[in-house]
Amino acid sequence: PSEDYEPVANAVVKNVVDSSNHNDQENNVAMTNNLLDKISRDAKTERKQRYKQVLQSHIPEVLQGEGKREDEVMQLVDQLIFYDGNSGTEEHNNDSAQQQDLDETGKLAITAHSLAAHFTTLEASALDRAATKLDSDCKL
């Protein structure tokens, strides 16, 4: 990208050398600042793109797409589990996929996973308080 800036940079340098008027110099400084800001933005964008490529280098190309929104994924999972995909209609065909009543172990597992999910959203101080409270309340 630096070759894109070369003609503009040369023009700025020429104008600075040739200009004796104070207003021309102020305009040149403003133009130079704008050019430097654009170079900085372009470099930042380029760094982000390179960083993203490094982070995604281990992911197969097919999986590197933009992805689907969360609600689309949940709808696809729902259709996969509960509906017959061949008919094109949303006819409920998978009775075995209906949610079963939970026993005590299942309820405990859901509670533990829910707490873990909630705890991941807490800030450090709130997490410390919650963990201490949970530890003191759940002693055997």
Structure confidence by residue, pLDDT tens digits, 70-84: 777 777 777 766 665
Tell me the mean pLDDT in the region 42-47.
94
Phi, psi of 92 (to 5 degrees): -70, 115
For residue 107, the one-letter residue type is: K
The conformation of residue 121, written as its DSSP 8-state character, comes to T
The domain total for the chain is 3
Q: Are residues 13 and 56 in the same domain?
A: yes
Q: Are residues 16 and 53 in the same domain?
A: yes
Range of the domain at 57: 2-61
Q: Looking up tokens 């390179």, which residue turns up?
A: 50
Q: CB–CB of 82/67 below 8 Å?
A: no
For residue 59, the model assigns a pLDDT of: 72
Q: Are residues 56 and 88 in the same domain?
A: no
Q: Are residues 39 and 19 in the same domain?
A: yes
For residue 56, the model assigns a pLDDT of: 78
What is the DSSP track for 21-76? SHHHHHHHHHHHHHHHHHHHHHHHHHHHHHHHHHHTTTS-GGGGS----HHHHHHH
Tell me the mean pLDDT in the region 63-71.
68
User: For the whole prediction, is pTM greater than 0.85?
Assistant: no
Contacts with 2 (C-beta within 8 Å, 6 or more apart), sequence order: 39
For residue 104, the model assigns a pLDDT of: 83
Q: Are residues 95 and 107 in the same domain?
A: no
Contacts with 102 (C-beta within 8 Å, 6 or more apart), sequence order: 110
Q: How far is CA 22 from the centre of its chain?
A: 47
User: Looking at 23-32, 41-50, 68-77, 81-90, which range is the least confident one?
Assistant: 81-90
